[in-house]
Amino acid sequence: MKLFLTLLGGLLLGSSEASEPPTLEYGFVGEPQDIKVLQGESVEFVCEVYGMGPGNFISWINGTNIVYFDRHKVNQDDRITMEVDGNKETLKIKDVDTRDEGTILCQISGSYTVAQEKKLTVNIPPSVIMEPDERHIDLILGESIDISCVTAGKPTPIVTWSRTDGAPVFANGETHQTGETLSFDAVDKHHTGTYSCAASNGFGSDVTKHIDINVMYKPTVEAEDVYYTDQGKTTELTCRFDANPKVQVMWFHNNVDINFTERTNIVPKQNGGTATLIISNVEMSDLGMYTCHGANEKGEVQTDVELSVKPYGLRILSEEESPYSDSYILEWQVASVAQLIECNLKIYEANKSEEIFLENNTIPVTQEAMTHSYQITGLHANGTFVAYLNCRNKFASTVTEEIEFYTSSEENPNSACALSILMTHLVTMVMLAFMMS
């Protein structure tokens, strides 16, 4: 509070000492209060006085402009009025604007002048203009963009950017950014989303603007190389496309466009970027190479998927060195959707053209077990041998796997110990088969 007091009369004539200020006979009741309002609101200033006499009058001053003088309106602004209630005057301002901001004085004049100062602060709620002024923007992968939220308000609003889905705004994981401008140097597919800028200055309601960014890119595709099946079964071939806009998918079989009207056991489905070809009651004519082709306005892509009845996954598990001088235990894995029939085994001694045949090189296998073993006997000590193995079902055979193995010296002949180890392998295979069933 500033108390402006002007005492009239100056100094006493003929005296070398300053006069004592007179006792105040009139003044103000209560302390002045500073007021903060929002632009467009109404405000009231109350001035209650005491000791007023016939020679006193009150003036209202806004800054340097006299608004009321001795209860007579000087300023012709229709927004400003005054009410009188005994020794209390109330100055009212409607639809307050920033031009009203500043110091409001209630001043009493008479034998001396005294004033009460009140400070008016006018705040303006935030407003926002987004540039570019669009709700949706399509961008191509790798393009750059600057989005600005230009604000107005008093005090100056703070702008906060975020994504409406709560995802990070930037790759470093930040979910919020302050500042009027949001910049992306090279957009990628993860920038697709709805972004919002919120402006706040603590007065009025926050203002939020939204913009959708849609990053478009040509498709990519992932799929299994081979799907294994059996005659009469139902099999689903799946291709997973990543693209924006969404891809249109076409299917080919052995490079020929599939006529789904004629081939009624084949049904295509698409859910977003996942394209599925459902083949019911598989026939031999359904086998072969399928191509899924996806295209959007930014490009196209395709990949091949094989539908096969072959056995697969043949893998030899045995170590190269045998603990026995006259035998070797061969272990392997193989899988097949169709019924496995047998595996064929051929043994050669290394660096010799003579083929060493077993009594029976055709080994029956069962469908239930994926792991199989066979003891090769009749070998000699310190020998180097090569085994060739393939397995077949009723339709086809696997590729042939090769392993080079060695027998031990005469000091470790095949014995009951070998049989014990073989039984251990057999028990292991049975347990694996039971666990997989």
Along the 437 residues of the chain, how does pLDDT read in single tens digits? 333 333 323 322 233 343 444 556 899 998 888 999 999 999 999 999 999 888 899 999 998 899 999 989 998 889 999 999 999 999 999 999 999 999 999 999 998 999 999 999 999 999 999 998 889 999 999 999 999 999 999 999 999 999 999 999 887 888 999 999 999 999 999 999 999 999 999 998 999 999 999 999 999 999 999 999 999 999 999 999 999 999 999 999 999 999 999 999 999 999 999 999 999 999 999 999 999 999 999 999 999 999 999 999 999 999 999 999 999 999 999 999 998 999 999 988 886 666 666 566 899 887 677 899 999 988 889 988 999 999 999 999 999 999 999 999 975 544 444 445 445 555 445 444 444 44
Quote the pLDDT of residue 33: 85
At residue 55, the pLDDT reads 87
Q: Are strands 27-28 and 43-50 parallel, antiparallel or unpaired?
A: antiparallel
- Among 123, 146, 178, identify where a domain stops: 123
The three-state secondary structure class of 91 is strand
Are residues 112 and 183 both part of a single domain?
Answer: no
152, 265: one domain = no
Query: What integer pLDDT is reported at residue 15 of this predicted model?
Result: 31
Look at strands 80-85 and 88-93 and give their pairing: antiparallel
Sign of the CA dihedral running 322, 426, 367, 229: negative
Burial of 76 (0-12, 13-18, 19+ CB in 10 A): exposed
Range of the domain at 278: 224-308
pLDDT attached to residue 76: 85
Q: What is the pLDDT of residue 412?
A: 53
pLDDT of the residue at 19 = 42
Question: Phi, psi (5° rounding) for residue 247?
Answer: -80, 150
Q: How far apart are CA 169 and CA 166, in angstroms?
A: 9
Are 307 and 235 within 8 A, CB to CB? yes
178 with 249, same domain? no
Q: What are phi and psi of 399, to 5 degrees?
A: -70, 160
Same domain as 320, residue 363: yes
CATH number, position 84: 2.60.40.10
Same domain, 63 and 100: yes
Residues 266 and 156 reside in one and the same domain: no
Apex 222 CA angle, 251 and 275, nearest 5: 40
Helix (H) or strand (E) holding 427: helix 416-436
Structure tokens at 177: 């950014």
The CB-side HSE value for 330 (13 A sphere, CA atoms) comes to: 26
Same domain, 21 and 82: yes
* Domain shared by 287 and 388, yes or no: no
Q: Within this chain, do residues 112 and 160 fall inside the same structural domain, yes or no?
A: no
Q: From residue 3, how far is each of 28, 115, 216, 322, 374 by CA, in Å?
A: 10, 6, 68, 110, 112
Domain end marker among 251, 280, 308: 308
The sign of the torsion formed by the CA atoms of 70, 76, 77, 81 equals positive
Same-domain check for residues 214 and 270: no
Single out the residue of 195, 178, 187, 180 nearest to residue 145, CA to CA: 187
10 and 50 inside one domain: yes
What's the token pair of residue 225?
């190389």
**Rounded distance between C-alpha atoms, residue 68 and residue 105, angstroms:** 11
244: phi then psi, degrees, rounded to nearest 5: -150, 115
User: Would you say the C-alpha torsion 428, 430, 434, 437 has a positive or negative sign?
Assistant: positive
Which of 123, 153, 172 is at the close of a domain?
123
Q: Based on the domain organization, do 337 and 422 belong to the same domain?
A: yes
Number of domains observed in the structure of the chain:
4
Helix (H) or strand (E) holding 77: none
